[in-house]
Structure 1
Amino acid sequence: MTAHVRGGLPVGDGAALVDRMAERRAGVGDPGALVGELRRALVLVPYDRGGLWTAEFGGIRWVCGFTDEAALARFAEERAVVEGAEVGAASRSWEYAVFRGARLLDEVIPAMGVPAGVAVNVADPDGAMLFPPVVGIVPDGVAVDADADVPGGGRAL
């Protein structure tokens, strides 16, 4: 059985973001192009108890986002197992919001009031990517490294 996901907006093709993430995981590709692709992409973010689904890890609040309904369904199936359902069984329907990545990074993350980033496709161990709250990804005012100096001058990216 497949997990049920329900949204209210049309979903764009997340293939370009998935491709950029695969490049970076392979040690190639441009980090700036990856962030740019996230900013352009439509990201599905499931709801949890009336708010966006987040998880805390390493002192960072991570908004869990997905590149398409299939990636969200894999996450829903993993959550069903954690919640006690059989493998492959959906424990509930999952509603989600669709955000442009730029809105997540520029508006949602700063509004959280705590260090926060975006975790994309977290149910895909070979395809997940974290976008931490650092300069070059989130606005400087909420970046955890905004005051950090980089050896040789400049700022961290």
Structure 2
Amino acid sequence: MGLIAQIAALRDGTGRPQALVGELRRTTLLVPVSDGGLMSAERGGVRWLYAFTDEVSLSRFLLQRGADPAAEAEYVAILGARLLDAVIPSLDGPTGVAVNVADEDGSMLFPPVAGIVPDSVAVDLVGKGARGER
């Protein structure tokens, strides 16, 4: 079952969170690049990296943000596991992943908590022996 199917299963109550995170880790994600860095937004003290499962979802997002439809989207393709285990720990502050945010029924947020990101950067482990704060 692919990531989109895992998201749908979790939303309809038949999915398992561990299976969803496992599928995220196995999926190659497209992360848009802006001004030389990974495109993200900050909300509620958390930085959210935008990630997409395909070019159609990425394009829909960019168009909603006012991008030129004729312009070629700049992005990096990265395995979800690498995004979670290597990229997020290298960034300052709590960082999660926002998948397919322009797709109302297919979007999902993966917050910076234990079981998703490494324990050393999981916000729910602050003060419990993990680094937590960056």
Calculate the TM-score normalised by the size of structure 2.
0.89
Partner of residue 143 from structure 1, selected from 115, 122, 127: 122
CA RMSD of aligned residues (A): 1.7
Question: Shift of residue 91 of structure 1?
Answer: 6.6
How many residue pairs match? The answer is 128
Of 8, 17, 31, which aligns to 2:17? 31
> Residue type matched to 1:73 in 2?
S
The residue type paired with residue 76 of structure 2 is A
Deviates more, 1:134-143 or 1:24-33: 24-33
Which residue identity lines up with residue 35 of structure 1 in the other structure? V
Q: Higher relative contact order at CA 8 Å, sep ≥6: structure 1 or structure 2?
A: 1
What's the CA shift string for 1:71-119, capped at 9, x where partnerless? 1011111011xx6xxxxx6273311000000000001111112100000
Q: For residues 68 and 130 of structure 1, do their structure 2 counterparts lie closer, same or farther at Cα, with a shift above 3 Å needed? A: same
Q: Distance in 2 between matches of 1:148 and 1:133?
A: 15
Paired residue secondary structure (1:137): coil
Distance 1:78 1:33, change over 3 A: same
Which whole-Å CA distance do the structure 1 matches of 2:64 and 2:21 have between them? 27
CA positional deviation for 1:27: 2.0
Work out the percentage of aligned pairs sharing the same amino acid. Answer: 55
Corresponding position: 1:124 with 2:110: no
Q: CA deviation at 1:148?
A: 7.6
Quote how far apart the aligned CAs of 1:127 are.
Answer: 1.1
Q: How does 1:72-91 map to 2 (within 5 A)?
A: 72-80=58-66, 90=69
Equivalent residue for 1:95?
A: 74
Residue aligned with 1:28, SS: coil
User: In structure 1, what residue type is equivalent to 2:110?
Assistant: F
AA in 1 matched with 2:80: G
Residue 141 of structure 1 aligns to a residue whose secondary structure is helix
Pick the structure with greater CA Rg: 1
Measured after TM superposition, the shift of residue 57 of structure 1 is 1.0
1:133 and 2:112 aligned: yes
Q: Are residues 1:112 and 2:94 paired?
A: no
TM-score by length of 1: 0.77
- Residue 52 of structure 1: aligned partner: 38
Q: Counterpart amino acid of 1:58?
A: G
Is 2:26 the partner of 1:40?
A: yes
Unaligned runs of 5+ residues in structure 2 are 129-134
